[in-house]
Structure 1
Amino acid sequence: MTLWTADEAARATGGEARGNWSVTGVSIDTRTIAPGDLFVALSAARDGHDFVAQALEKGAGAALVSRVPEGVAPDAPLLIVPDVLRGLEALGRAARARMNGKVVGVTGSVGKTSTKEMLRVVLGGQRRVHCAEASYNNHWGVPLTLARMPRETEIAVIEIGMNHPGEIAPLSRLARPHVGMITTVGTAHLEAFDNIEGIAREKASIFAGLMPDGWAVINGDLDTTPILRSAAKEAGARVLTFGEARSNHHRLMSVQIVDDTTVAEARIWRASALFKVGAAGRHYALNALGVLAVVQALGLDRAMACADLARWVPPAGRGMRERLLLDPLDEAMSFELIDDAFNANPVSMAASLEVIAAARPRDNLGRHKHGRRVAVLGEMLELGPEELQMHAGLADLPAIDKLDVVHCVGERMKVLYEALPAEKRGRFALKAKDLVKAAGRLADAGDVVLVKGSKGSKVSEVVDALRKLGHPAPDS
């Protein structure tokens, strides 16, 4: 199905279209480009113009460029604009303008991507949904998501992130959401802000682009909730709160974690509700409650939404659980891996440790008589001047008492390693690759192993090494 014709794209961007082409998708990466895509020659670590010829050879329908690249014929299918990123933004703006459906914008210090994926599943059960891929939530990810949006989209879910002040508002104005959701406000990216109140004000700027009579769905349990609520009111939004406090419109009443499933009871707009999600953790139940608040704001069926929540499972790197067989002939000889290696800050670290603390290892299977709860913890980055205190403070979390072994990765994690009781200290490594070499001694049959850290800590390398120890179980 045609996404953009040459004439449409030229009108949207004010650029010069060479050739009478049409495209069915938009791509920024020649490694994953599909035939018929519009290749966008963004400049980051490398100049995207260097890859235009390759993209066209792979079947790209056209390329968005600011000049005719070397090795590309003058009559090649191109859309020439003064600035490629501005051109991509213009495409996104035009796609948003021609779309007659509703837009949901999601931000927060923790849980943006998981919540966005919950919304994809839940809203997709009732409407034609377009959603951001992966964590495409920055200055190029948001316009790319919009530029890829089909005309017939009924609901678009746009994830909006930030690293520094002033990033969210322009992206919100580009997306123009009907519903703006803030999952939570925590200490992620604190090094770029004076305090957590500054982070809250930046998150609340998602309401800057809210459509008239739009909805603000906010976590009502935070110390910074008044900041979020004030920003929503200033934007003219109707406010829906979710959380555990009695004052919330959507209130979590009880949570029960059973293996890799969370069952929750809630009060939703004065009605009782029971739902479950395919991941263990109170934080997942809370995010799911926020999703149900979005469903309420959009006027969709809440009963169907509660049922559809059960179909969601976390993606790789964000709490995905799998069972790995160490002996393909004996399914009992296995361990459970919790892959949460994509992001970390004190809030999400505490939530993940609570998950493994509730996990149930199996005894009398491996080298150790008792199955163990094992945590491999990588550094938490971008936390500012109090980062070492935040790392050391993890030792005081109640969940730590339930763990058998804690391995630590990175210079910042050394303070946690030293704060741990001696009997819980596993290995300390400055680099994840140093721990990879010991992967065979990190996990044993019957164990539950959590790998958690900021993406920059590269503990995902430990996840890969642990996966190579065995084979996925049939039920994983």
Structure 2
Amino acid sequence: MINRTISEIAEMIGAASSFAEETANLRVQGVSKDTRNDVAGSLYIPLIGASFDGHAFAQDAFHKGAVASLWQKDHPNPPQDVPLIYVDDTLLAMQQLATAYRKQLKVRIIGITGSNGKTTTKDLVASVLSTTYKVHKTQGNYNNHFGLPLTILELDEDTDFAVVEMGMSGRGEIELLSQIAQPDIAIITMIGESHLLQLGSRLEIARAKMEILKGLSPDGVFIYNGDEPLIEQVKAEIMLSGNIRSIRFGQSKYNDYYTDYIRLGEEGTFFTVNGMPDPLYYIPLLGQHNATNALSAIAVAKVLGVSEEQIVDGLSSLQMTSMRIEKLTAASGLTILNDAYNASPASMRAALDLFDGLTGYKHKYVVLGDMLELGEEQDEFHREIGARLHPEHIQGVYAFGSLAKAYVEETGKRFPAGRVHWFEDKSELIGHLADKLTDQDVVLVKGSRGMKLEQVVHQLLEK
């Protein structure tokens, strides 16, 4: 984590300061934004949100051991007799501090964005690189204008690589994150339909994702899904440095890295690359789409000199962030595929394709929630997903949410009566489904984060 004196931090963000000369050389170790966590020794950053203002807790931060605090100039009544660094905007100052700190480090950064697969790819890349280097990765959902600067400021000075996730909801957001992180390698996993509500078209989504190149090192590496023509289209619109190297991955044999043989195992996926029978890679994740995500990690590893043996070990020992098609076993023996973190048409298709291919279960059920932020075509997208559900593969469909009615309307055209259900109360859904389940069954739970379908998963685990 950042370790600088108070005066050095003030200089890094070009800020005025208010502290006695004898405290100028006090060292700050790390930053904190929440006094409910450990703030001892840190720089407290009082961020301002829609329903909170961290300035109200600055005095508490000092009581708990913070060494110094930022203070926004337009806020009255600053704490007295404590080291304060005055800034115009505390969020902007945190971003400036992260940018300055990143420039002082020798760390190389891999930035990852895309409509789906960001977190999975982040975890895959970090796992492979960790076999050879000291690696830090984005924790949880720290992938926005708050989280990415905090991730940078968590880096130790001897970190070899940082793998950072970059999320967005509109234009300009990825560019900001890329300019802060200054990645050496940029990855775009895919272009989907998420954020159509804000951006209007997949082409505009592609343009927003391609902003990751704004901060890419002039001699950096751009790794992207070569099966997506929109990336190529937008790439042609951008004047890239002649020294930037491009590497494509995907399912087509025209890519630099493509999956060949793919086989689903009990707990994960086996696959080979570029038509070569050896090595046989394994990831403890289910689905062809995850094998495709793994290709970008293999590409990164090859660029950075990780041995083939270490790549194989890194992929097979992956530790995943939760709620990305996480295979769980309930107390009853029921199998649950928890994919409740997010949902878009692309990720829903991938999850259902995986689910269709699963064998060895007596009955298969799906619990599907709304897919959010899809704009004017949201009903059409939900109907398309409903049309993909087939009674020969799935015993029962359980839909939750107002938009999810479209699943039911489509599936009801093909499923026998009594096998398709819609609920507006999760407790009723859980009770109805739980009565049908046995230890020989499997349930897929998937929906947008705002639907909070992890509550269904937690309840089923206890049944």
Superposed pair shares fold, TM > 0.5 = yes
Decide whether the 8 Å contact of 1:210 with 1:235 is kept in 2.
no
Distance in 1 separating the partners of 2:241 and 2:311 = 28
Q: 2:229 is paired with a residue of what secondary structure?
A: coil
Distance in 2 separating the partners of 1:74 and 1:66 = 15
Q: Which residue of 2 aligns with 1:422?
A: 415
The 5-angstrom pairing of residues 69-84 of structure 1 reads 73-84=79-90
Q: Which residue of 1 aligns with 2:378?
A: 387
| CA positional deviation for 1:101 | 2.5
| CA positional deviation for 1:176 | 0.9
| CA positional deviation for 1:233 | 6.1
- Residue 259 and residue 41 in structure 1: after superposition, are their counterparts in 2 closer, same or farther (change >3 A)? same
- Residue 222 and residue 68 in structure 1: after superposition, are their counterparts in 2 closer, same or farther (change >3 A)? closer
Indicate yes or no: 2:237 matched with 1:244. Answer: no
Number of matched pairs = 453
Q: Which residue of 2 aligns with 1:396?
A: 387
- Residue 429 and residue 361 in structure 1: after superposition, are their counterparts in 2 closer, same or farther (change >3 A)? farther
Q: 2:310 is paired with a residue of what secondary structure?
A: helix
The 5-angstrom pairing of residues 87-102 of structure 1 reads 87-102=93-108
Letter paired with 1:247 = Y
Decide whether the 8 Å contact of 2:368 with 2:447 is kept in 1.
yes
Decide whether the 8 Å contact of 2:390 with 2:415 is kept in 1.
no
Consecutive aligned runs of 4 or more in structure 1 exceeding 6 Å deviation = 68-72
Distance in 2 separating the partners of 1:55 and 1:67 = 18
Letter paired with 1:267 = N
Letter paired with 2:261 = S
Distance in 2 separating the partners of 1:37 and 1:373 = 50
Indicate yes or no: 2:284 matched with 1:278. Answer: yes
- Residue 314 and residue 130 in structure 1: after superposition, are their counterparts in 2 closer, same or farther (change >3 A)? closer
Decide whether the 8 Å contact of 1:68 with 1:74 is kept in 2.
no
| CA positional deviation for 1:166 | 2.0
Decide whether the 8 Å contact of 1:324 with 1:337 is kept in 2.
yes
- CA offsets 1:299-329 (integer angstroms, 9 cap, x no match): 3334312221001143222121111222xxx
- CA offsets 1:224-262 (integer angstroms, 9 cap, x no match): 232254257634421100011111111111211112210
The 5-angstrom pairing of residues 40-439 of structure 1 reads 40-44=45-49, 45-66=51-72, 73-230=79-236, 234-236=240-242, 237-267=244-274, 273-326=279-332, 334-362=333-361, 371-397=362-388, 401-420=392-411, 421-423=414-416, 425-432=419-426, 434-436=428-430, 438=432
| CA positional deviation for 1:401 | 4.3
1:32 to 30, 33, 37: 37
Q: 1:466 is paired with a residue of what secondary structure?
A: helix
Letter paired with 1:104 = I
- Residue 289 and residue 10 in structure 1: after superposition, are their counterparts in 2 closer, same or farther (change >3 A)? same
- CA offsets 1:371-396 (integer angstroms, 9 cap, x no match): 32111111000111111110011123
- CA offsets 1:169-199 (integer angstroms, 9 cap, x no match): 1211111111110001111111112311111
Distance in 2 separating the partners of 1:3 and 1:138 = 23
Percentage of identical aligned residues: 32
Decide whether the 8 Å contact of 1:395 with 1:419 is kept in 2.
yes
Distance in 1 separating the partners of 2:403 and 2:283 = 33
| CA positional deviation for 1:340 | 1.0
2:27 to 5, 22, 29: 22
Letter paired with 2:117 = G
| CA positional deviation for 1:403 | 1.5
Decide whether the 8 Å contact of 1:201 with 1:227 is kept in 2.
no
| CA positional deviation for 1:149 | 1.8
- CA offsets 1:398-432 (integer angstroms, 9 cap, x no match): 67741211110111110111211333734312254
Q: Which residue of 2 aligns with 1:13?
A: 13
| CA positional deviation for 1:17 | 5.6
Distance in 2 separating the partners of 1:197 and 1:384 = 14
Q: Which residue of 1 aligns with 2:447?
A: 453
Q: 2:334 is paired with a residue of what secondary structure?
A: strand
Distance in 1 separating the partners of 2:428 and 2:59 = 40
Distance in 2 separating the partners of 1:76 and 1:408 = 55
- CA offsets 1:286-310 (integer angstroms, 9 cap, x no match): 0011111112233333431222100
Structure 1 gap ranges (5+): 327-333, 363-370, 470-476
Decide whether the 8 Å contact of 2:331 with 2:461 is kept in 1.
no
Distance in 2 separating the partners of 1:295 and 1:383 = 35
Larger mean CA deviation between 7-16 and 158-167 belongs to 7-16
Q: 2:285 is paired with a residue of what secondary structure?
A: coil
Letter paired with 2:29 = T
Distance in 1 separating the partners of 2:176 and 2:436 = 45
Q: Which residue of 2 aligns with 1:365?
A: none
- CA offsets 1:439-471 (integer angstroms, 9 cap, x no match): 6436432221111111111212212222333xx
- Residue 358 and residue 386 in structure 1: after superposition, are their counterparts in 2 closer, same or farther (change >3 A)? same
TM-score computed with the length of structure 1 as normaliser: 0.88
- Residue 442 and residue 379 in structure 1: after superposition, are their counterparts in 2 closer, same or farther (change >3 A)? farther
RMSD over equivalenced CA pairs, Å: 2.5
